[in-house]
Each structure stands twice: as structure tokens, then as C-alpha cells.
Amino acid sequence: MLRAGLLYLSEQPAVFKFVRGNPIAKRLASRFVAGETLDSAVAAVRELNARGITTSLDLLGESVHTEAEAGQAADVAIQMLERIAREKLDSNISVKLTQLGLDIGRPVCVANTRRLLERAAALGTFVRIDMESSEYTERTLALVEELHAAFPPHLGVVIQSYLYRSDADVERLIGLGTRVRLCKGAYKEPASVAHPDKADVDASFARLMERLLERGNYPGIATHDEKLITRARRFVGQRGIARDRFEFQMLYGVRRDLQDALVREGYRLRVYVPFGTQWYPYLMRRLAERPANIAFILGNVVREGVRR
């Protein structure tokens, strides 16, 4: 019932118009989304950089419907890279392959992704390919494998610990030398492809995390779970893994207290900074895919406020 209601609201233009025009709603949303423009996102990046935190800019939006829209998305991503370089920001970018035309056709997506990576290589920066639902997992990894040889220092990808296949995928990427961002996963997936129980997702995350910390190429450990973060810190200490061989990653506006604490302790931290006009439907769809995220986000806001 809750999922259906959230999906319904995400598709209502009148609700979107109200939320975008309501000062209170926009103030609440601004905690988790860095505005609608690249200028507002850059301002958020500067603030985070000043706190010793690196970032990854993420223009919200998913599947496009025409080759022109896919090309425009690639153009905007290139503008993001150029802005980062011009203003000497400590940031990279994240993109979804469906933004670059994967649903239109693989050749379109490959051409746009290659064009983006060529610019990243020229600027000496990095592009992370976000992972979408499980129907895109193999296509995403296959494309990353195809392009990795030409852009090894400039291309990375995301692995979701709740998928059963992720053990094999992590080994595949370690062998390739590709940088991996490990997260739990937020899409609504069937039990046939993903662990339905949180305990199993957490156990998978811990197992894959330790494998990446020990043998991976500068992995990103993307979690706000203090138990998993403590486990990672203990693991690298026991194995003598240097802190410059990995980074923790978190979401914009979530557990800012924990973000600052990790930086004070000398760990590297990257925050994902989403922005763009599609923030309302994006957030509603993410909540619909996993309604437990509502309690998670609210709980983190309350916890942070209490600690302050």
C-alpha cells in the first residue's frame, strides 16, 4: 500500500509543482538534494571540500527516450567535468547508463559513455557508472569491461551487496582492476535475485567489503551503518591496509555527524551530491522501491540532532 502510494505521488505533476513551489518542502528536500542547478551543486561541493570531504556530482534522472536526450545528458556530464576542473574542486561525477541511452540501444550508450570518458581522461578525472536495477546489472558490467582497457584510471562502477551474483561480480572486477563502489542496494528486487533479509544483505556487504579492501583497486565503502564502518576500520587496522587505499562514501545530508567524525580520524570520505530538476520523482521512486528508507532517513536525522 505504501509503495503504491509513493509511486502514485511520484507521477503527479500537481504534487511536484506544489513541492517545488513550497518553501517548507523545498527546505526539507534541500537536506538531501543540492538544489536544481549545477551552480547550487558546486556551492555544496565547495562547502564539503572545506570540511575535508571529497564529492561525486550526480545529475538526477534515469532513462531517456531519444538519442538527442541521451546526447544532451552526455553533454551535461561533460560540462560537470569541465566545471570541476576549472574551479579546481575535489570531485568526480556519477552517471547512469540509462541516462546515456542504454534503453535506446547499446551503440548509442557506448558512444556517449566513450565521449564522456575521453573528456574525463583529458581532464585527469574520474567517472563512476552507477548501478541500476538487476535487469541492467550484466549489461552495465559488460559495457564497463569493454571500456576499461581504454580508460582504466578514469572509470569505475557500483556493486550492490544484496544481489546473489555480487560475489562473482566482485571477483570479476578485482581481476579487471576496476574501481568498485560497494553499496547495499535500494531497488525493490525479487527474492530470486536478491537477499530478502537485511541480515543476509549486511553479511554479504561485510564479506565483499573485506575482499575489496584487501585486493581491490581503491574501493569505495558506501554505507552509513556504523557497525559495518567499525568492522572496516578494525579490518584495515589488523591487515595493515593504509587509509589512502580506500575511502568511505556517504550520501549528501545523511549522517553528517559521522562524516565529520571519520574525517577527524584521518579517513578519506566522499559524499554523493545529487542535484537537478528531477529530485522529487527521483526521491519518491527511491522510497517506493524500499519504503524502509523512510524510517532510515528519519532515524538518521533524529539521531544526528540528538548527538548535536
Q: Which three cell numbers, joined as nine digits, stand for 90? A: 575535489
> Are 7 and 288 spatial neighbours (Cβ–Cβ below 8 Å)?
yes
Q: Extract long-range pairs of 254-258: CB within 8 Å, 24+ residues apart.
A: 254/32, 254/224, 254/297, 254/300, 255/224, 255/300, 255/303, 255/304, 256/304, 257/303, 257/304, 257/307, 257/308, 258/224, 258/226, 258/229
Beta bridge partners of 272: 56, 251
Does residue 200 carry a catalytic annotation?
A: no
Does residue 260 carry a catalytic annotation?
A: no
CA 243/CA 235 separation, integer angstroms: 11
- CA proximity to 219, closest of 240, 239, 202, 242: 242
- CA proximity to 30, closest of 18, 15, 17, 20: 20
Let me know how many helices (H) and strands (E) the chain has, helices first: 13, 8
Single out the catalytic residue among 83, 119, 128, 130. Answer: 130
> What secondary structure letter does DSSP report for 163?
B
Q: Which three cell numbers, joined as nine digits, stand for 107? A: 551503440
Which residues contact residue 73 at a Cβ distance below 8 angstroms, ignoring those fewer than 6 apart? 59, 61, 64, 95, 99, 100, 101, 112
CA 56/CA 281 separation, integer angstroms: 21
Q: Distance of CA 76 to CAs 49, 100, 127, 151, 291, Å?
A: 22, 11, 13, 20, 31
Single out the catalytic residue among 179, 181, 270, 285. Answer: 181
> What secondary structure letter does DSSP report for 26?
H
Active-site annotation, residues:
130, 181
